[in-house]
């Protein structure tokens, strides 16, 4: 079995403030990297419980990096932070696409919810469907025929994933009480849950369809009030209004995903 795991730093248990995910508070961020790496390693263990010979590729998808390279699983391989663009070396040879440490899209309920940038984006839409990082990248995988089978994070993240992929397997490691407040599982309990659910996701892979709808794909991006869209226009986006741009492509990886 060949599995691709996309990670983020806002979704693990014991993380519920933006300060914990940013380099301006290095001690806090190092603790967060410990929590994420433990959860990633647990997911790898779950995959290996299903197939001891599985190849697991992990992409550190957090903007400032979120994996503690010193304690990364010895039987997985890491795409560390660096210059990278969609499709992030994901291709049709993978059997499954998984998310560990994922957060919900920008809204009013999920822990640390945001869409790509917590400081600049109000929403992304693709062909009229509002999507966060989970939806955009699950669709990217779907264009290659790769099913998105597993996601970990808070309860809102799982609900968002199930709206697109009703039978996806998920591990809820915390329950949202607000954007920077949650009820958490312990790190150990979260890792135990993730390991078990990742194994189940592998067992169910053949019964989970890729998330897909045909292109061309039109992406609409709306920035937060007071911010400029000029950078998007300079890169070829179409003007919609003073806060909104649009771009269309037959290849979803050409968009901002």
What confidence tens digit (pLDDT) does each residue in 61-106 have? 999 999 999 999 999 999 999 999 999 999 999 999 999 999 999 9
| pLDDT score at 20 | 95
DSSP assignment of 184-244 equals E--HHHHHHHHHHHHHHHHHTGGGSPPP---S-EEEEEEEPTT---HHHHHTTPEEEETTE
CA 45 from centroid of its chain's CA atoms: 19
Q: pLDDT band for 213, please (50, 70, 90 cuts).
A: very high
| pLDDT score at 24 | 84
Q: Are 101 and 8 a contacting pair, CB within 8 Å?
A: yes
**Segment 17-59, tens digit of pLDDT:** 999 999 888 899 999 999 999 999 999 999 999 999 999 999 9
According to CATH, what is the number of the domain 2-213? 3.40.50.10780
Q: What angle do CA 164, 187, 53 make, to 5 degrees?
A: 65
- Would you say residue 200 has pLDDT above 80? yes
| pLDDT score at 123 | 98
For residue 121, give the H/E element and its range.
Answer: strand 121-126
| pLDDT score at 43 | 99
**Segment 95-151, tens digit of pLDDT:** 999 999 999 999 979 999 999 999 999 999 999 999 999 999 999 999 999 999 999
Domain extent listing, the chain: 2-213
Record the tokens describing residue 68, joined without a space.
């503690």
Q: pLDDT band for 233, please (50, 70, 90 cuts).
A: very high
Q: What angle do CA 104, 106, 111 make, to 5 degrees?
A: 45
pTM: 0.96
| pLDDT score at 163 | 97
- Would you say residue 164 has pLDDT above 90? yes
Sign of the alpha-carbon torsion through 200, 202, 206, 208: positive
Question: Which of 61, 86, 60, 211 shows the shortest CA–CA distance to 149?
Answer: 211
| pLDDT score at 108 | 74
């Amino acid at each position: 079995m060949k599995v691709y795991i996309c990670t983020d730093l806002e979704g693990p248990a014991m993380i519920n403030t933006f300060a914990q995910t940013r380099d301006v508070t290095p001690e806090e961020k190092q603790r967060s990297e410990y929590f994420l790496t433990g959860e990633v390693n647990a997911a790898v263990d779950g995959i290996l419980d299903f197939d001891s010979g599985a190849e697991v590729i992990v992409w550190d998808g957090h903007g400032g990096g979120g994996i503690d390279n010193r304690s990364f699983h010895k039987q997985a391989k890491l795409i560390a932070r660096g210059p990278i663009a969609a499709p992030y070396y994901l291709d049709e040879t993978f059997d499954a696409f998984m998310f560990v440490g994922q957060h919900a899209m920008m809204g009013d309920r999920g822990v640390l919810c945001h869409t790509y940038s917590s400081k600049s984006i109000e929403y992304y839409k693709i062909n009229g469907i509002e999507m966060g990082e989970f939806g955009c990248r699950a669709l990217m995988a779907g264009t290659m025929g790769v099913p998105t089978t597993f996601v970990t994070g808070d309860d809102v993240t799982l609900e968002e994933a199930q709206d697109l992929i009703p039978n996806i397997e998920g591990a809820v490691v915390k329950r949202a009480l607000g954007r920077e407040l949650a009820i958490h599982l312990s790190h150990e309990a979260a890792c135990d849950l993730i390991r078990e659910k990742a194994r189940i996701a592998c067992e169910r892979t053949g019964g989970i369809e890729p998330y897909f709808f045909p292109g061309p794909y039109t992406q609409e991006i709306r920035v937060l009030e007071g911010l400029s869209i000029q950078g998007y226009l300079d890169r070829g986006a179409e003007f919609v209004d003073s806060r909104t741009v649009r771009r269309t492509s037959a290849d979803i990886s050409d968009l901002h995903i």
